[in-house]
């Protein structure tokens, strides 16, 4: 849900930098023969030549589009080179592109706060760098202004379009500009220099938008692609928004934008100026109403987060057309593959960045032989995440079964799965040091009690928000962590004993000098007893205790609670495992199969129809039902 944050009165300089045809550039760097040649990157499956996921600019000149499949692209551009994404475990392996993105981020993050917003884009807050430049070496004092800065497109300059480098030079150096524009001029030079460095050091080109807030910077970055930058002085904002189709705004691409068009006759963002804030609030609710009122004026107070690492991890695979999965065993086989990759990625995140993911989510697209309910979607499901490949696989399969049961309304119908994805989210930093890791795990287990969780009882849509947020993770106690089933089911005696002795076991851990290796081995998933050597007996005891503590976060409810039969479990799962869309990292969405991307983007742009309910009625009326 869009939320309007107050925009600071202090002038800011924000840039949005997006790589040009990113996967294609990565492939062109690997194989220089592809440079200058029409090229596209296609997904791994061969159905109709594979889906295009990145199209180079030479190929775009022939009319090739990302929505095409390989066969169609060949018809439009017979000379096109189609490069398959690397494959691992029978699915796309995006590590190559992720690490190429990291190379770029390492350069872009040198000048100010940097937020990695997707696999190929970042936001930069360059306010401090621009202020320093204005004090120490303002553009008018520079011996020469970088060529790349002079090629900038400055909106509103010379009646809408850039006349040339001389005009840009004058704009960059104008002595009577207001402070905001002077800072923006410095930002323009800083971004140009960064982009040149990116090209020199990585061989990749990128485009950028430079403005005084995130929204305007993001709008500007694709305006002149590839390898160019666009600047948005404050005075150009009304014209920019007056001609901007609502659907081009990130949050208006979905049903909210459609409602604005169909119900209000609003075609451009500027058309929203006709409506008072009160009117928009009456129609769309307080938050969305205020947010719409502000975006019509180009106001956006979102901060650039200081975050170079992704907020979540996800991996998925599509099974188009005849490849649809129609048995639980085939689903299990693929889920196992996906979970193996996910497990490796969260494990390396833990090893390298000391971060723990707390929520496991399963998304799927499906069809069924039920003409009465043809539009029903496969519900996404989530649960607390347990480390270890086999545990993740087991939990993901439970989530799938729970989702399938909901999807089929417990009827015995034929079904097929056309895409599957698993995600790990709610990632928090763990403090450095072994005892801290243990403290984290121990407290996480022991301090959850039913009264702490009372705001997240079954059926309440915002249960997931009771989990600690990443930002708060360092400051809040772990007490708030959610264990959804503890208040409802009898606890496994073994788990209970383990929980009650947690403080004792912490003492035990503290005495064990070798404990770090033990714990990390636990996380690496090598803890299933049949894989252990006899020489590990002593540490296994510790591992099992730790395992109990984490498994008591209830994802393996089937095995932890022998009193419950599977059907009861399924009901419990479907009632309680609710996914919070705020946890979805846009960068992960880009990496998921297209069908799933569409569905998730539908949630991120929630369904908003004009509200016909009276003002003051429950806020739930403004929003689509909880996304399960």
Structure token digits, residue 23: 């996967």
Strand partners, 154: 231
Interface with Ca ion, residue 18, by CB under 5 A: yes
Contact of 227 with 206, CB cutoff 8 Å? yes
Residue number with CB closer to Ca ion (29 or 377):
29
Angle between helices 493-500 and 537-551 (to 10 degrees): 100
Residue number with CB closer to ligand DCP (41 or 396):
41
Q: Using the rule CB under 5 A, which residue among 120, 148, 340, 349 binds Ca ion?
A: 120
The b-or-e profile of 570-596 (16+ CB within 10 A means b, else e) is bbbbbbbbbbbeebbbbbbbbbbbbbb
Residue number with CB closer to ligand DCP (225 or 608):
225
Of the candidates 27, 58, 115, 121, the residue annotated as catalytic is 121
Select the binding partner of residue 597 from Ca ion, ligand DCP, none (C-beta < 5 to 8 A, by kind). ligand DCP
- For 245, which DSSP code? B
Interface with ligand DCP, residue 53, by CB under 6 A: yes
Nearest approach in angstroms of CB 102 to ligand DCP is 14
121 classed as catalytic: yes
> Is the N-terminal amide bond of 226 cis, ω within 30° of 0?
yes
Nearest approach in angstroms of CB 204 to Ca ion is 10
Select the binding partner of residue 193 from Ca ion, ligand DCP, none (C-beta < 5 to 8 A, by kind). none
Interface with ligand DCP, residue 104, by CB under 6 A: no
> Interacting stretch for ligand DCP, rule CB under 6 A, among 18-26, 125-133, 350-358, 569-577?
18-26
Interface with ligand DCP, residue 120, by CB under 6 A: yes
CA dist., res. 314 & res. 89, Å (int): 15
Select the binding partner of residue 392 from Ca ion, ligand DCP, none (C-beta < 5 to 8 A, by kind). none
Interface with ligand DCP, residue 19, by CB under 6 A: yes
* Among 387, 390, 399, 318, CA closest to 47: 318
Interface with ligand DCP, residue 590, by CB under 6 A: yes
Contact of 12 with 124, CB cutoff 8 Å? no
Longest dimension (CA), the chain: 79
Interface with ligand DCP, residue 317, by CB under 6 A: no
> Interacting stretch for Ca ion, rule CB under 5 A, among 18-26, 221-229, 268-276, 456-464?
18-26
Residue number with CB closer to ligand DCP (36 or 450):
36
Strand 81-84 and strand 39-42: pairing?
A: parallel
Interface with ligand DCP, residue 54, by CB under 6 A: yes
- For 5, which DSSP code? P
Residue with tokens 């705001």: 455
Nearest approach in angstroms of CB 225 to Ca ion is 8
Q: Is 445 exposed, middle or buried (0-12, 13-18, 19+ CB in 10 A)?
A: buried
CB neighbours of residue 89 within 10 Å: 15
Residues that bind Ca ion (CB under 5 A): 18-19, 22, 120-121
Residues that bind ligand DCP (CB under 6 A): 18-23, 53-54, 119-120, 225-226, 590, 594, 597
Residues classed as catalytic: 121
């Amino acid at each position: 849900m869009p939320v309007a944050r107050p925009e600071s009165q202090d002038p800011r300089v924000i840039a949005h930098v997006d790589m040009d045809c990113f996967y294609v550039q990565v492939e062109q760097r690997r194989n220089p023969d592809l440079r200058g040649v029409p090229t596209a990157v296609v997904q791994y499956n061969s159905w109709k030549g594979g889906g295009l996921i990145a199209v180079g600019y030479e190929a775009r000149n022939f009319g090739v589009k990302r929505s095409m499949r390989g066969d169609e692209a060949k018809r439009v551009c017979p000379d096109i080179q189609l490069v398959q994404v690397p494959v691992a475990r029978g699915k796309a392996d995006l590590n190559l592109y992720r690490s190429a993105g990291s190379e770029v981020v390492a350069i872009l993050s040198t000048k100010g706060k940097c937020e990695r917003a997707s696999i190929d884009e970042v936001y930069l807050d360059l306010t401090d760098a621009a202020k320093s430049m204005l004090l120490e070496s303002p553009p008018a004092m520079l011996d020469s202004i970088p060529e790349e800065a002079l090629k900038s497109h400055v909106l509103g300059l010379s009646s809408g379009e850039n006349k040339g480098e001389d005009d840009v030079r004058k704009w960059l150096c104008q002595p009577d500009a207001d402070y905001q524009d002077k800072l923006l001029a410095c930002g323009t030079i800083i971004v140009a220099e960064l982009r040149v460095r990116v090209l020199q050091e990585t061989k990749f080109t990128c485009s950028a938008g430079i403005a005084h807030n995130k929204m305007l910077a993001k709008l500007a970055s694709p305006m002149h692609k590839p390898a160019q930058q666009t600047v948005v002085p404050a005075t150009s904002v009304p014209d920019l928004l007056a001609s901007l189709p609502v659907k081009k705004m990130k949050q208006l691409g979905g049903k909210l934008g459609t409602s604005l068009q169909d119900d209000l006759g609003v075609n451009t963002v500027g058309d929203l100026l006709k409506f008072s804030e009160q009117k928009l609030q009456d129609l769309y609710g307080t938050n969305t109403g205020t947010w719409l009122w502000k975006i019509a004026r180009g106001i956006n107070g979102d901060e650039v987060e200081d975050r170079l690492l992704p907020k979540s991890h996800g991996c998925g695979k599509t099974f188009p057309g005849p490849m649809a999965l129609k048995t639980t065993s085939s689903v299990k086989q693929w889920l196992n593959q996906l979970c193996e990759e996910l497990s490796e990625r969260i494990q390396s995140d833990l090893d390298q960045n000391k971060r723990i993911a707390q929520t496991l989510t399963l998304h799927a697209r499906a069809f069924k032989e039920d003409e009465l309910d043809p539009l029903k979607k496969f519900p996404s499901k989530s649960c607390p995440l347990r480390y270890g490949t086999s545990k993740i696989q087991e939990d993901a399969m439970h989530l799938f079964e729970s989702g399938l049961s909901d999807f089929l309304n417990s009827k015995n119908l034929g079904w097929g799965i056309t895409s599957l994805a698993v995600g790990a989210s709610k990632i928090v930093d763990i403090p450095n040091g072994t005892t801290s890791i243990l403290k984290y795990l121990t407290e996480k287990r022991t301090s959850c009690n039913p009264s702490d969780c009372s705001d997240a009882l079954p059926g309440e849509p915002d249960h997931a928000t009771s989990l600690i947020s990443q930002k708060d993770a360092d400051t809040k106690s772990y007490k708030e962590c959610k264990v959804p089933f503890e208040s409802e089911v009898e606890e496994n005696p073994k788990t209970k004993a383990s929980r009650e002795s947690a403080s004792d076991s912490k003492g035990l851990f503290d005495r064990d000098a070798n404990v770090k290796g033990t714990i990390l081995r636990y996380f690496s998933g090598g803890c299933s007893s049949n894989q252990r050597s006899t020489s590990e007996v002593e540490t296994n005891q510790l591992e099992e205790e730790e395992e109990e503590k984490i498994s008591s976060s209830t994802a393996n409810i089937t095995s932890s609670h022998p009193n419950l039969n599977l059907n009861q479990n399924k009901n419990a799962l479907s009632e309680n495992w609710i996914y919070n869309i705020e946890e979805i990292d846009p960068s992960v969405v880009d990496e998921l199969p297209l069908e799933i991307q569409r569905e998730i983007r539908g949630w991120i742009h929630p369904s908003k129809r004009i509200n016909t309910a009276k003002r003051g009625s429950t806020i739930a009326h403004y929003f689509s039902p909880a996304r399960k």
